[in-house]
A = this chain, B = another copy of it.
């Protein structure tokens, strides 16, 4: 087998795309070097026949955005879109006659809200510079989106730091909400986190935050929009329950994955269940 620089291999005088096997009987092609669409069409046709002959199942082609000129060729060859990120498009094809068992694309966006209470029963709140909450002048808890690859707990601490300058320690997840059709049809998970403040002098972020303050919980709760909105009233109730020490959420514990290759956090009610050999 001869390997060329542009990601093409030659096997018994037929040029094929260089591919690696995945764990599910399929192959992955990561295109990197520029190629003319016609040349790509030829080598793709030969490669598909080769993979079919080998009994391969899913075929993945990852095209960086600078190879956008090859997208149409792949679609004309029967590929469809699987997912895209700013700098690449992933296309996929299913060779067998049976229904495909290809894994689905990411389906959920994940958000966090941070409850940060000081010893004076004051809640850390912000007023946003734009959006629906700005219009009604609402004092609300810091919120934000969990980045891909970011722990929920760390995202909550990061958002508080970014919006208010306050350093915090993550305590627990008090509740979460799942909803659908939030953004381009994707589903959404929103985690309400309890954090302990480690600093108290507010330095608000300029770009998105109009104002930030420690607001007495009674004043937060008395806002008309909080009064009439179930999810905001719920925030008040959670704050009161935490002040009374009568509520337990899910604490986090570091874990390894089943096959030991991917660390992560397990969240559960550890007042009710002590997990041996697993302290934070």
Question: Out of B69, B152, B175, B258, which one reaches A266, CB within 8 Å?
Answer: B175
- For A26, the chain B residues whose CB sits under 8 A away are none
Closest B residue to A86 using CB positions:
B80
Which of A65, A267, A273 has the most C-beta atoms of chain B within 10 angstroms of its own C-beta? A273
Determine whether A108 belongs to the interface, using a CB cutoff of 8 Å to chain B.
yes
Besides A65-B75, A106-B186, 7 new A-B residue pairs in contact (Cβ under 8 A), listed by A number: A148-B180, A149-B187, A176-B267, A176-B268, A179-B257, A182-B262, A234-B275
Contacts of A182 in B (CB 8 A): 262
Which residues of B have CB within 8 Å of A2? Answer: none
> Is A209 positioned at the interface, with any CB of B under 8 Å from its CB?
no
B residues less than 8 Å from A183 (CB atoms): 103
Chain B residues, Cβ within 8 Å of A86:
80-82
CB distance from A233 to the nearest CB of B (A): 9
A237 and B84 in contact, given A107-B147, A147-B104, A258-B232 (Cβ under 8 angstroms)? no
Of the candidates B83, B230, B265, the one whose C-beta lies within 8 Å of that of A278 is B230
Docked-complex contact B132 and A266, CB < 8 angstroms? no
Residues of A99-143 whose CB lies within 8 A of B: 103-110, 132
Contact A177 B267 (CB under 8 A): yes
| Inter-subunit contact B177/A255 (CB<8 Å) | yes
Q: Which of B76, B180, B238 is the one whose CB lies under 8 Å from A264?
A: B180
Please give the distance in Å from A165's CB to the nearest CB on chain B. 19
User: B272–A255 contact, CB under 8 A?
Assistant: no
Cβ contact within 8 Å between B90 and A184:
yes
> Within the assembled complex, what's the spacing in Å between the Cα atoms of A72 and B278?
51
